Structure 1
Amino acid sequence: MRLTPLAVAVLSLLHEQPMHPYEMAQLMRERRTDHHVKVKAGSLYHTVDRLAENRFIEVVGTQRDGKRPERTVYAITQAGRDAVLERARVMLSTPAEEYPEFGNGLALIDELGREEAIAELERRESRLATGVAEDEKILTKLRDRQLPTVHTLHWRYSTARRAFDLQFTRELIDDLKHDRITWPPPTEDGSDDQTG
């Protein structure tokens, strides 16, 4: 079984202690796991079922809270522990080849022309600034909850990336506005040369 990001998140939680899927979902919300892993209730339960079928986790009991339905409690197996630790080693040691859309957009920037490119980048800057402000609020909440900092590293990484993206975008806008970026010369008809 290939460990998806959600499967890694489940095994990571079960590495801490046995729990039922509803508790996993609560912890993922509390730790803002949804910022780097797509978490939906249906996909969480499907992932738990797949991990159990592949013997990476096992049922260790049930819990009942008041009149609520019984909940199945899972624990990580040695096979699951080995698999998630190996995946962690690879993820931490090997830079992944990712293909962010912004990089592809930059490859097309000269197609828009300088003024339109600046306008679109200013829209991006505004959205990123809003995101950075939201990130700060969430980081403050996470600190206030006094979670172990090891459980917020993914969030710190994501917010640092967004802050860098904002800084890069602002510098790019400034470079474009002050003609520090070489642009293709206009063609005879007055439009930008799109061949170079």
Structure 2
Amino acid sequence: MNNQSQVTREDDVKLTPLAMAVLELLLEQPMHPYEMAQVMRARHVEARANVKPGSLYHAVERLETHGFIEVVDTQREGRRPERTVYGVTEAGRDAFIARAKAMVGSIAPEYPEFAVGLSALNELDREDALAELRTRALKLQAEAAAEQVIVDSLIAKPLPALYWLDLRFTAARREFELAWTNQLIEDIITGRVDWVPAECEDEA
């Protein structure tokens, strides 16, 4: 067994969200990276993957290295640089399906910074903590409003809901976090959550 086969098989379950987004597009039709970026932008893929030019090209290169995609054509328009068109391989299709199943059916460990910040909240001054929570709530409100505009636009289109479940999930999660943060602010203000500074714990 050669090293290439080992790397490819091990990588089957380690496809990143961006790599999954690339494979998803190529399962529809062959594309060059610039076209991928345009379609991802139009579909708001940035809500679930880190879509930046550098990271996108790196993901494409990595997928090709592992045999999940391959060059199917090259295009040139006028004096523009030649563009390489990629298509998904059978191995890429299998890896995509396997990873999608794992992502849907498994609970992957995540380490959100907000949870870490909440664990250290009692180290802050009460008013500073409230100020930061209010700032977060305002930002969440703005993001939730922007996502709702996207959701409303998709609802208005004759597009099956199955195609944009990821956006519905993201919007719902944002609404939940906003409601939870606002409730925490209210609980601290009203005393339902007792404010016990860290120095008081030390004295106890």
> Which TM-score band applies after superposition, normalised by the shorter structure?
0.7 to 0.9
Are residue 149 (structure 1) and residue 156 (structure 2) matched?
Answer: no
Indicate the residue corresponding to 2:98 in structure 1: 86
Q: 1:145-187 deviations in whole A, cap 9, x for unaligned?
A: 5555333222221111111110001111111111111333x8x
Q: 1:43 to 1:152 in 2, by over 3 A?
A: same
Cα shift readout 1:56-81 (whole Å, capped 9, x = no counterpart): 11122233445544322211111001
Of stretches 14-23 and 161-170 in structure 1, the one that deviates more from structure 2 is 14-23
TM-score under structure 2 length normalisation: 0.83
Question: Higher helix proportion, which one?
Answer: 2
Gaps of 5+ in 1: none
Q: Secondary structure at the match of 1:95?
A: coil
Are positions 1:129 and 2:141 aligned together? yes
User: Are 2:21 and 1:14 equivalent residues in the alignment?
Assistant: no
Answering whether residue 85 of structure 2 is matched by residue 73 of structure 1, we say: yes
Conserved 8 A contact 1:111-1:194: no
Give, in whole Å, the separation in 2 of the partners of 1:73 and 1:146.
29
Other-structure match for 1:193: 200
Q: Cα gap change, 1:171/1:46 in structure 2, threshold over 3 Å: closer, same or farther?
A: same
SS of corresponding position for 1:60 = strand
1:19-58 correspondence to structure 2 within 5 Å: 19-58=31-70
Pick closer, same or farther for the CA change 1:69–1:116 going to 2, 3 Å: closer
Structure 2 CA distance for partners of 1:88 and 1:71, relative to 1, 3 Å: same
Structure 1 residues 21 and 54: CA distance shift in structure 2, 3 A: same
State whether residues 10 and 24 of structure 1, in contact with CA within 8 Å, keep that contact through their aligned partners in structure 2.
yes
Q: Is the 1:110–1:194 Cα contact (8 Å) retained in structure 2?
A: no
Quote the Cα distance in structure 2 between the aligned partners of 1:71 and 1:140.
35
Normalised by the length of structure 1, the TM-score is 0.86
Aligned length: 191
Q: CA RMSD in A?
A: 2.2
Partners of 2:132 and 2:201 in 1: how far apart?
19
In the alignment, which residue of structure 1 is the partner of 2:189?
177
After superposition, what is the alpha-carbon deviation per residue over 1:107-132, rounded to whole angstroms, capped at 9, x for unaligned? 11222243332222111111111111
Among all aligned residue pairs of Structure 1 and Structure 2, give the percentage whose two residues are the same amino acid: 50
State the one-letter code of the partner of 1:63. Answer: Q
How many Å separate the matches in 2 of 1:43 and 1:53?
15
SS of 1:193 mapped into structure 2: helix
Is the CA contact 2:188–2:195 (under 8 Å) kept in the aligned structure 1? no
